[in-house]
Amino acid sequence: MTSALQKDAPDGAFPFDNSYARLPPNFFVRQAPSQAAEPRLIKLNEELAAELRLDVELLKRDGEAIFSGNLLPDGADPLAMAYAGHQFGGFVPLLGDGRAILLGEVIDRNGKRRDIQLKGAGQTPFSRRGDGRAALGPVLREYIVSEAMYALGVPATRALAAVTTGQPVYREEVLPGAVFTRVAASHIRVGTFQFFAARGDAEAIKALADYVIERHYPELKDAENPYLALYREVCERQAALIARWLHVGFIHGVMNTDNMTISGETIDFGPCAFMDSYDPATVFSSIDHQGRYAYANQPGIGQWNLARLGETLLPLFDADQEKALELANEVIKLYGERFQAHWLSGMRRKIGVVSEEDGDLELIQSLLALMQAGQADFTLAFRRLSALAGNDAAEAAFTASFREPEACGEWLGRWRERLSRDPQSPAGRAEAMRKVNPAFIPRNHRIEQAILAATEDGDFSLFEALLTVLAKPYDDQPALAAYMEPPQPDERVLQTFCGT
C-alpha cells in the first residue's frame, strides 16, 4: 500500500487493472483523493466486495481509511474523468468529475470489468466552485436506492461502502461529510462523447467508441458497421432500462446527458424518488421547475439524450454526412418502438398475463387511469392485484387502494375476462405477479427518516433496517409490513434535493 498515512496493509487487496487510465491523456486528469480528518466506516457491502474479489477482512479492518481516500490501495491510479453534458436542455461543454475520483477497475468474479469510484473525496480540476465533498444524507440516499434497484432487478450502479469523514460540509446548513464508494460497469456517459464532440476531436471520439465497444459491447466488433451497431445497442439498453424504471415507479430526477450511462446502468441518484400514489406528472426534484424529468417524461427525455449521443457519432456512421444522419434517425426512431415493446411486455406481466392480445394496451392504460383518478398507491395497488389474482377474497384489499373502491368494478370484470383467456393457473399467476410487483420500494419518507436519524443523532439503525427490508423487495416479510405503507399525509415528502 502507498499512502500519505503509510499505513501497512497486505499487497494486492484490490486486483486492479486500470484500462481507462491507459486512454489518451485528454480523457482524464490524474488526481489523488483528499485526506479525511476522522473517517469512520458506516457500511461495507461485504457481498459486493467478495463479488469484486476484494479482501473483505482487510476492508473490515482498514475500510475507513481506504474508502475515505486516506489510504490508497496498491495498484490504484486515481483520476477524474472529463465529460460535458446537457443540463436541463442547456449544453455545458466542461463538467467532469468534480467530486468523484475513479480509484481504478477490477475484474469481478464473473469476468466483468467494474469501476470503483469515491464520491465526495475532495476537489479535482473539474470542481469549479464546488468543494468536491458530499454530505451524509445524499450518500445514504444513494446507498439505499442503488441497493434497492439491484434487488428489484433494475440495472444500476452499486454501493460498496459509505464512510463519514469527521469533517463538516457547508450547504444551506452545516452537515456531516461523507464519502460514497460506487461500483459501475463504467462511468462513461453520453456526456463523455459530448466532451470530445464539443472540441471537434474526431480522433478521441473514435478512440472512446472503440474502447466502449471493447468493454461493453465486444460482440459488436465484427458487425458490418460497429459504430452504428453500438448506437443501436446503447439505445436498446436505455429503452429497456427506462421501461424498468416506469414499471417500479422510479423517477430519476436529473436525466441530464451527463447522468446517462453508455453501459445501460442507472447512475447518479441525486434527487431521485419512487412515486407513491400514481400520477404520471410526478416530479420531486427541487430544481426541476418545468417538470422536464417527470415520471412519464422519462422515455421521451431518454430519446432526446440519445439523439445527442447520435450527433457525436455521426462521422463514424458514414463518411457521407447525409447518409450518416439518415442512419442515426432510423436508430432513434427504433428506440421509440423498443421502449414501447419493453414497457408493454413488463406491464403485461404486472397485470398477470403471459399471452398477447391487441386489447392489452388499452386494459393497462385504463387501470393506470383508474389509479390516477383514485389516487391509488402505485406499488401497493399492483401488489394487491397480485394477491387478487390468486384469491378472490383479496378483492376488498385491492379496491381499498382507491379513493372510490366501487370505481374498480368495471375494470376488474374486464381483467378477469382477459385472464380467462390466458394460460396460467391462478396460483401460478399470483406467484409470477409477486415477482414483478414489489411489496417494498425505497419510499421517500422512509429514506428521509433514516437520513434524519443518521445526520442528527448518528443513529444508523433506520438506515440498516431499510437496507434489510429492501434486499428482498418481492418477499412478503410480514414482520416488516409497515415498510410497505405509503406515507401518512404529514410524512409525505414533496421535494428532493441534489447531492450537492
Q: How many Cα neighbours within 13 Å face the side chain of 106?
A: 24
Q: How many residues bind ligand AMP (CB under 6 A)?
A: 19
Structural contact between residues 142 and 180, judged by C-beta atoms closer than 8 angstroms: yes
Beta strands in 109-254 (DSSP E): 113-119, 134-135, 158-170, 174-184, 250-251
Please, which residue, 81 or 462, has the CB nearer to Mg ion? 81
Task: Choose one: 124-132, 133-141, 258-266, 300-308; the region binding Mg ion (CB under 5 A).
Answer: 258-266
What does the DSSP assignment read for 417-473?
HHHTTS---HHHHHHHHHTTS-S----HHHHHHHHHHHHHH---HHHHHHHHHHTST
Is 69 one of the binding residues for ligand AMP (CB under 6 A)?
Answer: no
Please, which residue, 194 or 259, has the CB nearer to Mg ion? 259
Binders of ligand AMP among residues 245 to 274 (CB under 6 A) are 254, 258-259, 268, 270
Task: Choose one: 63-71, 124-132, 207-215, 328-336; the region binding ligand AMP (CB under 6 A).
Answer: 124-132
φ, ψ for residue 26, nearest 5 deg = -80, 5
* Residue 34 contact among Mg ion, ligand AMP, none, beta carbon within 5 to 8 Å by kind: none
Question: Which grid cell is 315?
Answer: 462521422
Please, which residue, 77 or 131, has the CB nearer to ligand AMP? 131
Structural contact between residues 286 and 260, judged by C-beta atoms closer than 8 angstroms: no
Name the nearest CA neighbour of 445 among 497, 490, 491, 489. Answer: 491
* Residue 498 contact among ligand AMP, Mg ion, none, beta carbon within 5 to 8 Å by kind: ligand AMP
Name the nearest CA neighbour of 119 among 305, 275, 267. Answer: 267
Please, which residue, 83 or 440, has the CB nearer to ligand AMP? 83
Eight-class DSSP state of 176? E
Residues contacting residue 491 through CB under 8 Å, at least 6 positions apart: 445
Task: Choose one: 122-130, 194-202, 347-355, 442-450; the region binding ligand AMP (CB under 6 A).
Answer: 122-130
Residue 366 beta carbon to ligand AMP: minimum distance, rounded to whole angstroms = 37
Task: Choose one: 70-78, 227-235, 257-265, 480-488; the region binding Mg ion (CB under 5 A).
Answer: 257-265
Is 268 one of the binding residues for Mg ion (CB under 5 A)?
Answer: yes
Residue 97 beta carbon to ligand AMP: minimum distance, rounded to whole angstroms = 5
Residue 250 beta carbon to Mg ion: minimum distance, rounded to whole angstroms = 17
Residue 196 beta carbon to ligand AMP: minimum distance, rounded to whole angstroms = 16
Name the nearest CA neighbour of 257 among 308, 299, 294. Answer: 308
Q: How many helices (H) and strands (E) does the chain have?
A: 15, 12
Residue 96 beta carbon to ligand AMP: minimum distance, rounded to whole angstroms = 6
Please, which residue, 33 or 191, has the CB nearer to Mg ion? 191
Please, which residue, 187 or 247, has the CB nearer to ligand AMP? 187
Residue 298 beta carbon to Mg ion: minimum distance, rounded to whole angstroms = 16
Task: Choose one: 42-50, 107-115, 179-187, 256-264; the region binding Mg ion (CB under 5 A).
Answer: 256-264
Contacts with ligand AMP, 78-97, as mask; x by CB under 6 A: -----------------xxx
Distance CA 181, CA 162 (A): 6
Residue 203 beta carbon to ligand AMP: minimum distance, rounded to whole angstroms = 24
Q: Contacting Mg ion (CB under 5 A), which of 146, 194, 259, 263?
A: 259
Distance CA 213, CA 480 (A): 44
Distance CA 288, CA 495 (A): 10
Q: Contacting ligand AMP (CB under 6 A), which of 15, 98, 336, 487?
A: 98
Contacts with ligand AMP, 125-164, as mask; x by CB under 6 A: -xx--xxxx-------------------------------
Name the nearest CA neighbour of 495 among 459, 447, 462, 440. Answer: 447
* Residue 96 contact among ligand AMP, Mg ion, none, beta carbon within 5 to 8 Å by kind: ligand AMP
What does the DSSP assignment read for 226-261?
HHHHHHHHHHHHHHHHHHHHHHHTEE-S---GGG-B
Residues contacting residue 60 through CB under 8 Å, at least 6 positions apart: 44, 46
* Residue 131 contact among Mg ion, ligand AMP, none, beta carbon within 5 to 8 Å by kind: ligand AMP
Is 265 one of the binding residues for Mg ion (CB under 5 A)?
Answer: no
Residue nearest to ligand AMP (CB): 130
Q: Contacting ligand AMP (CB under 6 A), which of 43, 99, 338, 446?
A: 99
* Residue 264 contact among ligand AMP, Mg ion, none, beta carbon within 5 to 8 Å by kind: none
In one letter, which amino acid is 233? E
Which uninterrupted H or E stretch holds 91?
strand 90-92
Distance CA 121, CA 103 (A): 11
Distance CA 332, CA 335 (A): 5
Q: Which residues pair with 102 in a beta bridge?
A: 79, 117
φ, ψ for residue 163, nearest 5 deg = -130, 150
β-pairing verdict for 85-87 and 90-92? antiparallel
* Residue 133 contact among ligand AMP, Mg ion, none, beta carbon within 5 to 8 Å by kind: ligand AMP
Residue nearest to Mg ion (CB): 268
Task: Choose one: 64-72, 266-274, 278-286, 430-438; the region binding Mg ion (CB under 5 A).
Answer: 266-274
Catalytic residues: 258
What does the DSSP assignment read for 35-52?
PPSS-EEEEE-HHHHHHT
Is 500 one of the binding residues for ligand AMP (CB under 6 A)?
Answer: yes
Question: Which grid cell is 126?
Answer: 473539474
Give the residues lining the site for ligand AMP (CB under 6 A): 95-99, 126-127, 130-133, 254, 258-259, 268, 270, 498-500
Give the residues lining the site for Mg ion (CB under 5 A): 259, 268
